[in-house]
Chain A
Amino acid sequence: MKAFSALLDRLTYTPSRNGKLMLMRNYFISTPDPDRGFALAALTDGIPLQFPLRRVLGEIGESRFDPQLFRMSRDDVGDTAETVALIWPSVSAAGEAPRLPEVVAALSKAGRGGHAELLTQWLDRLDATGRWALLKFLSGAPRVGVSARLAKQAVADAFGQNVDDIEELWHGLEPPYQPLFDWLEQKAERPALSANPVFRPMMLAHALEDAEWNALALEDFAAEWKWDGIRIQAAGKGGMTRLFSRTGDDIGNSFPELLDHFRFDAVLDGELLVLRQGEVAPFADLQQRLNRKTVTKAMTTKYPVHVRFYDALEIGGEDLRGLSFMARRKRLEEWHASYGPPHSDLSEVLPFEDKDALKRRWEATREEGIEGLMLKRKESPYLAGRPKGHWYKWKRAALTADCVLLYAQKGSGKRSSFYSDYTFGAWMEKDGASVLVPVGKAYSGFTDEELGQLDRFIRQNTVERFGPVRSVAPKLVLEIAFDAINASARHKSGVAMRFPRVARIRWDKPAAEADTLETLKGLITSAR
């Protein structure tokens, strides 16, 4: 528990990805089994503990500390679990700190009545950081800024393996993953792939740059629409189907109607959409279906989901990833013609005459309510990760607006000494006067040199400071590029931008000439 709590402690304060990787790598190398396995579980899928933390803390709290002092402390600390961890009196000679496996084993045996006693004696045996980490562990998800993928990456790095190999084994393993660590330490053979469907690392696309487009030999590529849903991998095997997100999270429980019909022996790649009478609904509709623990009948009727397949990694137990895109596509079409389940279809491969013709289709995407085009090299195998030169996403041209910089906030990590997060506004009429109302935030799109210039401007034009935030004299115009703008009741301005970024800094443009909120509202697209 000591090494684990030190790890969680450091992770919460380490912003950089490489820093987190390094901390986890060192932990996995130096920690024995089965402790590290349970730690890995906590950092990835979580350990399914049924621990009523809130109730138990309520039960034992008052026996250990003065409620009035607790309240005053809670006000100072701002977090209940952390306050408990800090205020808990240290007990000398309470025994060694518990190890993670001990905690997991005891909890699996404990009845409802035994929780308070267990927790009390563990807290007695731990120091402040250990108590905090234990309470985080018992709350289910540690939330220390580490994705499941990053934790697996750290394990792979620690033992010089490829993370994709771990990913392929993952769903066949259970905490504390002893066979995995045995294999990584070369004490045993690679564990067999599980009999259940497993996640295959996905192939991702690069954004297409203008220069690349100009150089592209288009006859080598197939084109498809770029669908505005979420990427999904449907994996069926042995009568069981799982739906994985891009990062390998199993999200099938949110889509029971798909699991009901997707009964096949294949691993397919596609886009999850809400579809009504053949028309793709706005992304916001799909969002209604994400991260739901329980799915009502009303939900499935109101937001009917659908998968548009565009690739096949495996069919009937045969690994197709080494084949070319066109060969895989042919297999996918044949398979779908015979076995295609309800709530699914195929993404069309778009015919086009020549480069100009395709460019015209791309230019029309915004009007047609489509996010852009995908270009896939016909000869490419299915490669994990984001390999260069194979798949391109060609997003429709961005919308732009000239907005005025209003607030700036310091970044984190390498940007911690720079004001790098910007809130910008547009003009609106209020009681006969023009005022600026915030319409969005951006923290990308500029070069390092421009970041330096912006930072200097902000320091020289600060009006007020609120902690890490500065308000800035409203005189610098930023040209903001964004993919779309939607009506939003949650924002004061009534609009919300999708993917805003700084396209240009308009040092030359007077703030009075920036765009108005009315102009922005005119860009709102109605649902397609």
Chain B
Amino acid sequence: MLATADTLQIMKLRLGNGAGGQLQALAYGEPIKVRDVTVRLVPAGHILGSAQVVIEYKGQRAVISGDYKRHGDLTCDPFELVPCDLFVTEATFGLPVYRHEPDRGEVAKLLTSLRDFPDRTHQIGVYGLGKCQRLIALLREAGYDRPIWLHGALRAMTDYYLARGFDLGDVPSVAESKDKLAGEIVLSPPSALGDRWSRRFADPLAGFASGWMRIRGRVRQRGVELPLIISDHCDWPELLQTITETGAREVWVTHGREEALVHEMGKRGIAARALRLVGREDDAE
């Protein structure tokens, strides 16, 4: 298995030491040759260590994006645009209704809510890898210097980011507190929102940081009071922008709403088709 060093470390944390079989780390930009084919990894801007795969063969270039985003992120390298002939893109948010708001505005919403409801624990559901650490970094950037409390399931990955030198401030575990954490921020996996675990807090206010929070029905379905539209995937304009900028003549669309993106590319005269991968769930973010 070929991946960035960060990805390999994250895999081990996630899946245990035996994960992935034979592992080989490859730095961003470092080429590796397999007969006539050159392969290199470039930053995808999705999370720490995430990469696009650039494959070159006889003057032709294909780029496989994997999950990526164009919006800035304090906790990973920015997306690097590589012009190519064939671009394989994700399309998690491949509908024009998905446009993520600037993340700093969403963080301001959270801080306003803390002022409005100073007696309630703000429990924010986050995906444990990437979103959690990015949200902490954003809060710190906005000047929030109180401890940010973590559910046990977010510990290992956050510790990895800390070890990698990201300054996330004081991030204690909820288990260490004997207090109800009124007026504090607690981060947890989304599944712990409105669950028994949350009963320890002071009248918990459920938030959820995800691109899906753009849609009101999804907010209500989850019983979320404070939706924060923060995503580690491209929104619709970013998908269109990226495809156009790569200059690719052919586009394969995967991971999500292929149909709308294929339709839009057709209008723009770009050959696009859906590449269906098995076993992808759209709620994974």
Determine if B147 is an interface residue (Cβ-Cβ < 8 Å). Answer: no
Check: B215 CB closer than 8 A to any chain A CB: yes
Give B223-250 interface residues, CB cut-off 8 Å to A: 223-227
Shortest B260–chain A CB gap in Å is: 5
CA distance A12 to B260 in the complex (A): 30
Which of A12, A13, A65, A127 gathers the greatest number of chain B CB atoms within 10 Å? A13
Per a CB cutoff under 8 Å, which of B97, B117, B220 touches A19? B117
Q: In the bound complex, how far is the Cα of B205 from the Cα of A414, in angstroms?
A: 9
Shortest CB-to-CB span from A88 to chain B, Å, is 9
Q: Does B264 contact A (CB under 8 A)?
A: yes
Known: A22-B117, A79-B216, A90-B99. A13 touches B260 (CB 8 A): no
Is residue B196 within 8 Å, beta carbon to beta carbon, of the partner chain? yes
B216 x A468 contact (CB < 8 A): no
Quick one: which of B95, B101, B217, B224 contacts A13, CB cutoff 8 A?
A: B224
Report if A13-B225 is in contact (Cβ < 8 Å); known contacts: A23-B116, A65-B96. Answer: yes
Name the CB-closest residue of A to B192: A417
A72 touches B194 (CB 8 A): no
Interface flag for B155 (CB, 8 Å): no
Within 8 A of B (CB), among A70-105: 72-73, 76-79, 82-83, 86-87, 90
| Contact yes or no, A468 B223, CB < 8 A | yes
- Are the C-beta atoms of B99 and A417 separated by less than 8 Å? no
Chain A hits for B221, CB < 8 A: 467-468
Chain A minimum-CB-distance residue to B207: A13
Near B by CB (< 8 A), chain A positions 406-423 give 410, 412, 414, 416-417
- Contact status of A417 and B117, CB under 8 A, knowing A69-B260, A82-B216, A412-B223: no
Supposing A26-B116, A72-B259 touch, asked if A14 and B225 sit within 8 A by C-beta, the answer is yes
Q: Which A residues between 432 and 488 are near B, CB-CB below 8 angstroms?
A: 467-468
**Is B199 an interface residue, CB under 8 A from the partner?**
yes
A72: contacting residue among B95, B206, B219, CB under 8 A: B95
Q: Is B198 in the interface zone, CB < 8 Å from A? A: yes
Q: Which residues of B contact A127 (CB under 8 A)?
A: 101
- How far is B224's CA from A87's CA once the two chains are assembled, in angstroms? 23
User: Is A68 an interface position by the 8 A CB rule?
Assistant: yes
Q: Inter-chain contact count A-B, CB under 8 Å?
A: 78
Nearest Cβ distance between residue B202 and chain A, in whole angstroms? 11
In the complex, the answer to whether A417 meets B198 with C-beta atoms within 8 Å is: yes
Minimal beta-carbon separation of A470 from chain B (angstroms): 13
Q: Contact: B99 with A414, CB < 8 Å?
A: no
C-alpha gap A86/B237 in the complex (Å): 13
Q: Quick check: is B30 within 8 A (CB to CB) of the other chain?
A: no
In the complex, A90→B214 CA distance in Å?
15
Find out whether the CB atom of B95 lies under 8 angstroms from the CB atom of A69.
Answer: yes
Q: Is B36 an interface residue (CB 8 A)?
A: no
**Is A494's beta carbon under 8 Å from chain B?**
no
Say if the beta carbon of A496 comes within 8 Å of chain B.
no
Q: A19-B117, A23-B116, A416-B194 are in contact. Are A87 and B97 (CB under 8 A)?
A: yes
* B276 interface hit (Cβ, 8 Å): no
Nearest Cβ on chain A to B188's Cβ, whole angstroms: 12
A77 touches B97 (CB 8 A): yes
Query: Chain B residue with minimal CB distance to A13?
Result: B225
Contacts of A414 in B (CB 8 A): 203
**CB distance B260 to A416 under 8 Å?**
no
The answer to whether A13 and B226 have CB atoms under 8 Å apart is: yes
Complex contact A86–B214 (CB within 8 A) = yes
Q: A128's contact among B95, B99, B219, B226, by CB below 8 Å, is which?
A: B99
> Which residues 81-125 in B have Cβ within 8 Å of A in the complex?
95-99, 101, 116-117
Interface: B263 (CB within 8 A):
yes
Contact assessment for A83 and B97 in the assembled complex, using a CB-CB cutoff below 8 Å: yes
In the assembled complex, the Cα of A516 lies from the Cα of B101 at a distance in Å of: 56
B281 at the interface (CB under 8 A from A): no
**Secondary structure at chain A's binding surface: helix, strand, loop or mixed?**
helix
A66 CA to B265 CA, complexed, in Å: 13
**What residue of chain B has the Cβ atom nearest to residue A129's Cβ?**
B101
Query: Measured between C-beta atoms, what is the minimum distance from A466 to chain B in Å?
Result: 12
| Closest-CB distance, B274 to chain A (whole angstroms) | 13
Q: Determine if B195 is an interface residue (Cβ-Cβ < 8 Å).
A: yes
Inside 8 A of B199's CB, which chain A residues have their CB?
417
CB-CB under 8 A from A73, the residues of chain B are 95-97, 260
Do A12 and B96 touch across chains, with their CB atoms under 8 A apart?
no
Q: Are A22's CB and B97's CB within 8 A? A: no
Contact A76 B198 (CB under 8 A): no
| Closest chain B CB from A16 CB (angstroms) | 8
Contacts of B227 in A (CB 8 A): 13
From B206, which residue of chain A is reached at the shortest CB distance? A416
Which A388-421 residues sit within 8 Å CB-CB of chain B? 410, 412, 414, 416-417
A residues in contact with B96, CB < 8 Å: 65-66, 69, 73, 86-87
Interchain CB contact under 8 A, B263 and A69:
yes
Rounded to whole angstroms, the CA-CA distance of A128 and B213 in the bound complex is: 13
Q: Is A15 an interface residue (CB 8 A)?
A: yes
Given contacts A72-B260, A416-B194, contact A78 B95 (CB under 8 A): no
Among A9-61, those with CB < 8 Å from B are 12-15, 19, 22-23, 26
Chain A residues contacting B267 (CB-CB under 8 Å) are: 66
How far in angstroms is the closest Cβ of chain A from B130? Answer: 24
Residues on A with beta carbons closer than 8 Å to the beta carbon of B226 = 13
Within the complex, what minimum Cβ distance (angstroms) separates A222 from chain B? 43
Segment 116-174 of A: residues with Cβ below 8 Å from B: 127-128
Q: Across the interface, name the chain B residue whose C-beta is closest to A78.
A: B217
Closest residue on chain A to residue B196 by CB atoms: A417
In the bound complex, do residue B95 and residue A76 qualify as a contact, i.e. CB atoms below 8 Å apart? Answer: yes
Residues of A within 8 A of B117 (CB): 19, 22
Q: Considering residues B198, B199, B219, which has the most beta carbons from chain A within 10 angstroms of its beta carbon?
A: B199
A-B contact pairs, 14 of them (CB 8 A): A12-B216, A13-B219, A13-B224, A19-B117, A22-B116, A72-B263, A73-B95, A73-B97, A76-B215, A77-B216, A82-B215, A128-B101, A410-B223, A468-B223
If A87-B96, A127-B101, A416-B206 are given as contacts, then 4 extra A-B residue pairs at C-beta distance below 8 Å, sorted by A number, are A12-B216, A13-B219, A19-B225, A86-B96
Q: Sorted from nearest, which 8 A-B pairs have the closest CB atoms? A: A86-B97, A416-B194, A73-B97, A13-B225, A78-B217, A87-B96, A72-B260, A73-B95
- Chain B interfacial positions (CB closer than 8 Å to A): 95-99, 101, 116-117, 194-196, 198-199, 203, 206, 214-217, 219-221, 223-227, 257, 259-260, 263-264, 267
